[in-house]
Amino acid sequence: MERNEAELAPRDSMDFDVVIVGAGPAGLAAAIRLMQLAQEAEQELSVVVLEKGSEVGAHILSGAVIDPSGLDSLIPDWRSKGAPLTTQVKKDRFLYLGAAGELALPNFLMPPLMNNHGNYIGSLGDLTRWLGEQAAELGVEVYPGFAASEILYSEDGSAVVGVATGDMGVGRDGVPKESFTRGMELRGKYTLFAEGARGSLTKQLTADFKLDEGCQPQKYGIGLKEVWEIKPENHQPGLVQHSFGWPLDNKTGGGSFLYHYGENLVSVGFVVHLNYENPYLSPYDEFQRFKTHPAIAPIFEGGKRIAYGARAITEGGWQSLPQLVFAGGALLGCAAGMVNVPRIKGSHNAILSGKAAAEAAFAAIQDGRSHDILAAYEEEVRTGAIARDLKPVRNVKPLWSRFGTFAGIMLGGIDMWANTILKGVGFGYTLKHGKPDYAAIRRAASARKIEYPKPDGVLTFDKLTNVSFSGTNHEEDQPVHLRLADPNIPISVNLPEFAEPAQRYCPAGVYEVIDDGAGDPRFQINAQNCVHCKTCDIKDPSQNINWVCPEGGGGPNYPSM
Ligand SMILES: Cc1cc2nc3c(=O)[nH]c(=O)nc-3n(C[C@H](O)[C@H](O)[C@H](O)COP(=O)(O)OP(=O)(O)OC[C@H]3O[C@@H](n4cnc5c(N)ncnc54)[C@H](O)[C@@H]3O)c2cc1C
Ligand code: SF4
Is 453:289 a contact under the CB 8 Å cutoff?
Answer: yes
Q: Is 197 in the pocket of ligand 2 (CB under 6 A)?
A: no
**Mean pLDDT confidence for 277-294:** 98
In DSSP terms, which residues pair with 143 in a beta bridge?
50
Contact at 8 Å (CB) between 354 and 26? yes
Please report which ligand is nearest the Cα atom of 540. 2
Distance 223 CA to ligand 2 centre (A): 12
User: Which tens digit of pLDDT belongs to each residue from 144-189?
Assistant: 999 999 999 999 999 999 999 999 999 999 999 999 999 999 999 9
By the 8 A CB rule, do 277 and 290 touch?
no
CA of 4 to the centre of ligand 2 (A): 29
Least confident of 25-34, 106-115, 123-132, 323-332: 106-115
> For atom 2 of ligand 2, which residue has the closest CA?
536
DSSP string, 514-535: E--SSS--EEEE-GGG-----H
- Ligand 2 center–CA 500 separation, angstroms: 14
Expressed in angstroms and rounded, the spacing between residue 128 Cα and the centre of ligand 1 is 10
- pLDDT for 1 beyond 50: no
pLDDT at 108: 85
Mean pLDDT over 475-490 rounds to 96
Q: Is the pLDDT of residue 8 over 90?
A: no
What's the rounded Cα separation, in Å, for the pair 494 and 491? 6
> Residue with the nearest Cα to atom 3 of ligand 2?
534
Q: Atom of ligand 1 at shortest distance to CA of 64?
A: 8
| pLDDT score, position 260 | 98
Nearest CA to ligand 1 atom 20: 347
Q: Which residues contact 507 (CB under 8 A, 6 or more apart)?
A: 222, 224, 283, 284, 310, 463, 531, 533, 535
Tens digits of residue pLDDT in 68-89: 999 999 999 999 999 999 999 9
Which of 119, 112, 115 lies closest to 67, judged by CA?
119
pLDDT at residue number 4: 64
- 281 to each of 72, 189, 285, 501, how far by Cα in Å? 41, 46, 8, 8
What pTM, to 2 d.p., does this model score?
Answer: 0.97
Atom number of ligand 1 nearest to Cα 353 = 26
What pLDDT score was predicted for residue 505? 98
Q: Are 546 and 531 in contact (CB under 8 A)?
A: no
Note the pLDDT of residue 549: 96
| Model confidence pLDDT, tens digit, residues 354-376 | 999 999 999 999 999 999 999 99
Question: Average pLDDT in the 304-333 region?
Answer: 98
Sequential DSSP letters for 85-97: --EE--EEEEEEE
CA 138 to centroid of ligand 1, rounded, Å = 23
Q: Region 12-20: what's the mean pLDDT?
A: 97
